[in-house]
Structure 1
Amino acid sequence: MKSLTGTTTPEAAAPDDTRPFGTHIRMAWWKSLIVIAGLPVALLLLQLALYLVAGLVDGAEDPLESNLTPLKLLAANLSTALTALLALVLVSSFAKVPWRRVLSSPRGFDRRRLATYFAGSALLVGAGTAVVAVVTPDAPGWVGFGVSGTTVALLVVVLLTTPLQSAGEEIMFRGAVLPAAGSWFRAVRPAFIAGLVVSSLSFAAVHAAGDPALSAYYVFLSLCTALMGLLTRGLEAAIAFHVANNMVTTTVNVLMADGGVLVVDRSEGAGDGSSLLVLVVVNVAVLAFVGFRERANRAR
């Protein structure tokens, strides 16, 4: 089987523990294309289907409107979690590797790492959110503090399913799409760069932001979490940061919606420069925290 670079690649190969995480899994080029193209399509179809059901149950005039009721937030989160399961099945089957190798390699998945990085990320994201509240309080679209039945229901959905959604995105894009794109190259550096570019652009595309600055931020977030995987040889740090980021920001947005539904605005002009700059700094701070801690662990 010829790869896109002309080199011979097997239909499937065992994980190569000598290669960095993200380039350790290889598969035939046509299988990698199925992973790269199929997962975003599956996510879109699942989300549309579950959105439609949630909208009909809510009795909305437009079942596909972007504002998130508790049921629509549940639909969005579950669609991502289900697509992540599909990603594990596809990569495990196509590359003939244990599904656990998608999460970390060569070591096993480390729950202690996950907890440590979640705690650190939550503190940094919380600090960043506080800075946004002081510097640009109007940027996130906050209406005012309020608690209603809708607020409580949204918070329950956030607590129970946002970790599944956030972990699901990391599994899909950093655990599956990145190594799938990297399979096109044998050399480590071009393999990782290809995976980095394809997974980051795909991640930004599925968020469908109409604002260029917001799309650029999604690309940057993806780059940071991919580098966390490279530093740690696993997805624990990336998942921990993604979960902390989404749980903290979504919780604050729900509480500041004045008891109403969660408003999602990614249209042109929605990406305020000052608030996005704060988020970029938070991303860099978490990445630095991961790098310093991993270096300390190796030193020990």
Structure 2
Amino acid sequence: MAPSRSADPWSPMPALPLGPQDYYGLLRTERYRWWRGLLGIVLLLFGWLVVGGVLGSIGLAVDLVRGDVTLAQLTMEEVLAGRISMGPAFFIANNLGLAALVPLSMLLNRVLFGQRAGWLSSVAGRFRWRWLLWCLLLVGVPWLVYYLVEMLVVPVGGAPVALSGSVVVLLLLTLVTTPLQSAGEEWAFRGFIPRCIAAMVPDPRIGLGLAALLGAALFMLIHLAHDPWLNLFYFGFGLLQTALVWRTGGLEAAVTLHAVNNLVGLVPIVLTGQLGTFADRSAGAGDWSVLVPMVLGTVLVVVVDRMARRRGVARLFTPTAPGVPSGWGSPVGGSDIGAPRVTLEPYEHRDDPHPGAGDRRA
């Protein structure tokens, strides 16, 4: 039986579910209302556009002053065609704007749903750093090897640039900000947004499927690609990432794969001086070969899932005892002290409420 809901949507009700839930069910609480989820999605996207717009404008101004891009390259016709010219400053600013999705998601999750930041990271209520290291080995290494082999078969092109001070600084900033950019997209498009969508639907299975599809579609749209192959890649990548989050109960594996994918693609571009043209997503920029990594990605989802089972990584949130009183939650924006702790039992000992679900710089 579903928990009763108070007539007052702002009353101090439980901030966490009263029963076992997977990652995408953590908003199935007495406190949740569909309009809160919709409001959260709108506010997150609006906040990102504001922060990203401010940072992007500053970066673009720096690039124009330095002569890294020209106004002729920034016409509306070029942008609408998917040919986005990008200077170093705008590139870093864009990374930071996307990274801002992490604190924005955490803030909205706290204000609208009363859950502290850790619950957006995983069903354990925290970011599991030890599991992240395992994911780096399980996901990052095979993905890196694949791209290195691909670059041997299909060279990136362009002559290596001299390692001047500006190139070294750009390379270091790329290494620092790209994982943050990847994390921002995961917190938003595999975390906050699909979780809000999933909780709007009474049936958990339908909610999960709808969240996966719409989250992947939004992820595809923000890349502004005009090439059908690239759009298929972004959509497929989004679905794979959602599967990783669902099967592992947190964002760690998805963040790892996303960061490695972007880094192995961007570092050669920086070292060969092709940063200005790498974001070409116009029609004809891609072909069927961009979908080949999806095969490897599918295999990695299975491998990570099995390792998560072996290591007892929790993929379900479970209150410490059944029948937890409905008063243990907190008012919106308050503390969720007193909420049931998570029992980190091995995955194979849990019942699964959902028997089924499921440029290449993402």
TM-score normalised per structure 1: 0.87
Q: Does 2:66 match 1:41?
A: no
In the alignment, what sits opposite 1:62?
Answer: 71
Per-residue deviation, 1:228: 0.9
In the alignment, what sits opposite 1:154?
Answer: 170
2:285 to 270, 281, 288: 270
Equivalent position SS for 2:23: coil
Equivalent position SS for 1:22: helix
C-alpha change, 1:200 and 1:254, in structure 2 (3 Å) is same
In the alignment, what sits opposite 1:116?
Answer: 134
* Aligned-pair Cα RMSD in Å: 2.5
Matched ranges for 1:200-239 at <5 A: 200-239=216-255
Per-residue deviation, 1:88: 1.0
Matched ranges for 1:175-194 at <5 A: 175-194=191-210
Distance (Å, rounded) in 1 between the aligned partners of 2:110 and 2:203:
22
C-alpha change, 1:63 and 1:175, in structure 2 (3 Å) is farther
Q: Is the 8 A contact 1:254 1:261 kept in 2?
A: no
Q: Does 2:212 match 1:196?
A: yes
Q: Is the 8 A contact 2:135 2:253 kept in 1?
A: yes
In the alignment, what sits opposite 2:20?
Answer: 18
Distance (Å, rounded) in 2 between the aligned partners of 1:57 and 1:209:
25
Equivalent position SS for 2:71: coil
Aligned AA for 1:287?
A: V
In the alignment, what sits opposite 1:32?
Answer: 37
C-alpha change, 1:64 and 1:286, in structure 2 (3 Å) is farther
Q: Is the 8 A contact 2:40 2:112 kept in 1?
A: no
Q: Is the 8 A contact 1:78 1:164 kept in 2?
A: yes
Q: Which runs of 5+ in 1 are unaligned?
A: 1-6
Aligned pair count reads 289
C-alpha change, 1:153 and 1:282, in structure 2 (3 Å) is farther
C-alpha change, 1:225 and 1:64, in structure 2 (3 Å) is farther
In the alignment, what sits opposite 1:166?
Answer: 182
Q: Is the 8 A contact 1:155 1:251 kept in 2?
A: yes
Per-residue deviation, 1:84: 2.3
Q: C-alpha offsets along residues 214-242 of structure 1, whole Å, 9 cap, x if unaligned?
A: 11111111111111111111111111111
Q: Does 2:259 match 1:249?
A: no
In the alignment, what sits opposite 1:282?
Answer: 296
Distance (Å, rounded) in 1 between the aligned partners of 2:72 and 2:132:
37
Q: Is the 8 A contact 2:109 2:117 kept in 1?
A: yes
C-alpha change, 1:53 and 1:135, in structure 2 (3 Å) is same
Q: Is the 8 A contact 1:163 1:243 kept in 2?
A: yes
Q: Is the 8 A contact 1:178 1:199 kept in 2?
A: yes
Q: Is the 8 A contact 2:118 2:125 kept in 1?
A: no
Aligned AA for 1:20?
A: D
Per-residue deviation, 1:145: 2.7
Q: Is the 8 A contact 2:59 2:91 kept in 1?
A: no
TM-score normalised per structure 2: 0.73
C-alpha change, 1:46 and 1:107, in structure 2 (3 Å) is closer
Distance (Å, rounded) in 2 between the aligned partners of 1:154 and 1:261:
13
C-alpha change, 1:64 and 1:21, in structure 2 (3 Å) is farther
Per-residue deviation, 1:189: 0.6
Distance (Å, rounded) in 2 between the aligned partners of 1:210 and 1:202:
15
* Worse-superposed segment, 8-17 or 172-181: 8-17
1:294 to 290, 308, 324: 308
Q: What percent identity do the matched residue pairs reach?
A: 26
Q: Bigger radius of gyration, 1 or 2?
A: 2
Aligned AA for 2:143?
A: V
Per-residue deviation, 1:278: 2.7
Per-residue deviation, 1:244: 1.4
Per-residue deviation, 1:165: 0.7
Distance (Å, rounded) in 2 between the aligned partners of 1:282 and 1:67:
30
Q: Which has the larger helix fraction?
A: 1
C-alpha change, 1:91 and 1:64, in structure 2 (3 Å) is farther
C-alpha change, 1:107 and 1:83, in structure 2 (3 Å) is closer
